[in-house]
Structures are given as C-alpha cells and as structure tokens.
Structure 1
Amino acid sequence: MLSCILIIRTIILHQLNTPIIIPLPDNPAPEKDIIDCIPSPPPERQSWAAFGTGPGTRVYGYPSKGGYYRLDDCLGIELDFLGLDRFNVTRHPPESDPEWQAKEDAHLRHLGATWVKYHDDDFWFTVEGPEDSDPYTKVGWPAAGGVWVLHITYGEAWKRGAAILYNARDMEERCELIKRLGGEFFEDPNDCPYLDLS
C-alpha cells in the first residue's frame, strides 16, 4: 500500500511539476513487501496435471515418503514422455497402488521434478517466482540412450535464450537444443548429479 502511495505521489509531482504533500500512513514501511493472500490447500491426489492458464502444465507425483514432486512448465513433449493425456485430466490410481506410484514418480524425477516437503514452500515459490540464482534444469532423453541435461541458473537461462526448448517438436529435437545451449551429455544417466534417479 505504501509503495502504491509513493508511486502515485511521484507521478503527480512529475506531471504538475509542483510540490504536493500527500499524508502517508502513520505506521512505518515494512521491511519486506507483504502479499495479502492465503496459501491454497495442497493439491489433491486426484489427478496428475494442473491445467491452468499456461504456458505449460504443472504435473504432480505423490511419493510414499510424503510431500510431493512438482514438475513445472510441462508441454507436449514432457506429457508424452510421462504417458499423460495432453488435453484431458489423467486420474491418479488409488493410494493402494504404491508400486505404480513409485514408477510414475521415477518418470517425473527423470525430467528433473522438484520434491516439495511442505506445501507452503511451494506456495511461496509460486508467488515470488524463481530468483536469478535458482537452478534451472531441463532434460532430454535421446532414443539412442543416455541423457542430455541443461543445468544452469534462471539468470543464465535467460541470457542463453533457453525458452527455445519449448519450441522443440519432439524429444530428439529437444536434445539437440540442449546441446546447442551448452548442456551436458551423460552416457549413463545414473552419473548425472542433477537428477534424482535413485
């Protein structure tokens, strides 16, 4: 609220070129911006994908250890890799099938999914967005084997134009783009330190 008043005050002063006094609230400015919103409840265990306004889809997996896996900005390539419908909600099986769930969570981890222990952590990441120094990981699985991984920061991804990855038509083209952007190839995917394949 205080920042809004200061911005309005600055605009008025600039436009009129005369000093105007606008009283400010008595309470001091907070040290950090406050967002007036309440976290939503954790995602329900009903479906894999959350289709929002895009671009892309957020995919969830619910491991037996608690928390959940989250994979952001999934487009057709990732959804095809995961075996999920690109246009309709794919329902989760009952919680009584832990083997199936473990297999599907492994697929999510193959694409660099983030494990979220507490829903509130995910809420604040969604609200605040990534920092330039946060890790940015994109993965490609070529048909010939191995794995291509682009593991850089969000700031570096912006500089390199990593958004071209979203224009890939298939996983092979995505691998070529990861290579072009300076990604690393691991002949044995288990040697990749950026993926949780265990």
Structure 2
Amino acid sequence: MDAPLRFAGFAANALALAALSAPVQAQFGGILNSAARAASSSDDSSSSNGCPKGKSRSSGSRVAGGILGSIAGSAAGSAGGLIAYVPVAAFTDVITASIACKLDPKEQEQAANATVEATRSADETTAAEVGSKSEWTSNTREDVSGSSTVVARDDAAADGRQCITVSDVVIVKGEETRADKRMCRTPPAVRYAIVA
C-alpha cells in the first residue's frame, strides 16, 4: 500500500517539475511579457502616437497594470474590442494631441473644422477676432461635444506673422478636457496653424 502512494507522490512531483520547466510565456499566455514591456517602458509624458500617458507609476504598479491590462485587452478583444484614438495626421496642425486622443477620427474632423471656423477672419490681412467661437456636437457618439474659442491675439510678431491663442474644450461623457494652443499665419495665408 505504501508503494502506490509513493508512486503517486513521485508522479505528482514529476508533473509539477515538468510544468515549471515550461517557459513562463507558455504557462501564462504572454501576460507576463506585456507586463514586462509595461514595466520597462519609459516615463515619458506622451506615448509614440502623441497621446498623453498620464502620471508615471512605480515599477510594481506598471507590472500589475500590464498584467491586468493584458487580461482586460484580451477580454475586450474577444468582445468586440475597445477603441484607442490616435491623432489623424491631416488635423495635427489644427488640433492638439491631448484633444485628438479623446476623439474618434470623425470627431477630430469636426473639432478641426470648428477651429478653422473660429479662426476665420474677414480677409487675409485681418487677424481673427478675440471671442470668436465655434461649437460642435459629435455625429458618431452620444455625449461628445466641443468648442474652439479665440482667447488672445498677438499683433506684435516681429516676422510679420499674426498669432492667436485658441482654447479648445471637449466634453466626452461628462468629462471635460481643455487645451490652449498658439496658432499663427503669415498673410496672405488665410489659415492659422499650430506653432510650438
């Protein structure tokens, strides 16, 4: 009777050792790989697509977040997926990344059109008027809207450029995001563009 118990214990130990010898990646389906990538990522204030990453976190927090994010991403992917918005290149001279990252591509176009409308002047020699505002409501999602307002003008540019400050506001499901941007144009150009 003692021999069968010893054999069962030996078999269980052999199976446990075999499982441990398998690569960690095979055991956990790549979850730890994504956690390691998250932990080793730098603490830059924006990601590679220009969207803000948020506050920097400790290594332990990044590992835990990577694991949980990987699990959530796998679950979301199998359930239709979550959409991550990235700035559309055609609008990067008109809307900031912090605004674009909150909006889908169609909404980014609406926000860009609102900025162009708010900064439109009577002719190519007249600067945009302070207080000029344009509002929009999303055509693709409920509870998403925004506005662009010219809040300041700088007529003292030495190089002949006309510069303004535009304040963008975007509200997504009750959460408000604000961003100011400096935009300039050199007459006879009609359109303003974001400058650093």
Q: What TM-score does the superposition give when structure 1 sets the normalisation length?
A: 0.27
- Larger RCO (CA under 8 A, 6+ residues apart): 1
